[in-house]
Amino acid sequence: ALSTEFRGLRYTSFFLADRAATPAAIRFVQDYRARFGAVPDHRAALSYDAAMLIGLAAREVGPDRRRIRDRIAEVGRGRPAYAGATGEIRFDETGDPVNKPVHIAEVAP
C-alpha cells in the first residue's frame, strides 16, 4: 500500500515557507505567492538566493565570471553576510555555507 511503501523514508528541505521568520524570508514568500499564486518550496528559495548573490556580485564587479565567483566567496569572510530568503548566507574558507539550517522529516503511516 502507498501509505506504508515509503514508511521510514527521510527527506530534507532547506526552506519551509510556513516557517519564514526573517524579513527577507517573509517578503520572499509574499512576493512569490503574489507572482505565482503558490507557496514557494526550498528549490525556489535557494534559486532566488543564488540568483540574487550572482546578480549583486555581477553588478559590483562586472561580467567577469572569475571575479563574480571570487566576490561571492567573500560573502561572510571580509564582506557582510547576505540576508537571503533562506536565512543568513556566508561561506567558509573552503566555499562551504556556514550554519545553514536543514529540516529533516521522516514519512510515517
**Local confidence band at 3 (pLDDT 50, 70, 90 cut-offs):** low
- Residue 22, classed as helix, strand or coil, is coil
pLDDT surpasses 70 at 1: no
DSSP β-ladder status, 10-13 and 103-106: antiparallel
Q: Render pLDDT for 18-33 as a digit per residue (tens, 0 to 9).
A: 999 999 999 999 999 9
- Res 2: pLDDT: 55
pLDDT surpasses 70 at 109: no
- Res 4: pLDDT: 76
pLDDT surpasses 90 at 49: yes
- What is the distance in angstroms between the CA of the first residue and the CA of the last residue of the chain? 10
**Local confidence band at 75 (pLDDT 50, 70, 90 cut-offs):** very high
CB 49 within 8 A of CB 25: no
CA distances from 46 to 5, 6, 49, 89 (A): 29, 26, 5, 11
Whole-prediction pTM value? 0.86
DSSP of 33-101: HHHHSS---HHHHHHHHHHHHHHHHHHHH-S-HHHHHHHHHTBTTTBPPEEETTEEE-B-TTS-BSS--
**Local confidence band at 102 (pLDDT 50, 70, 90 cut-offs):** confident
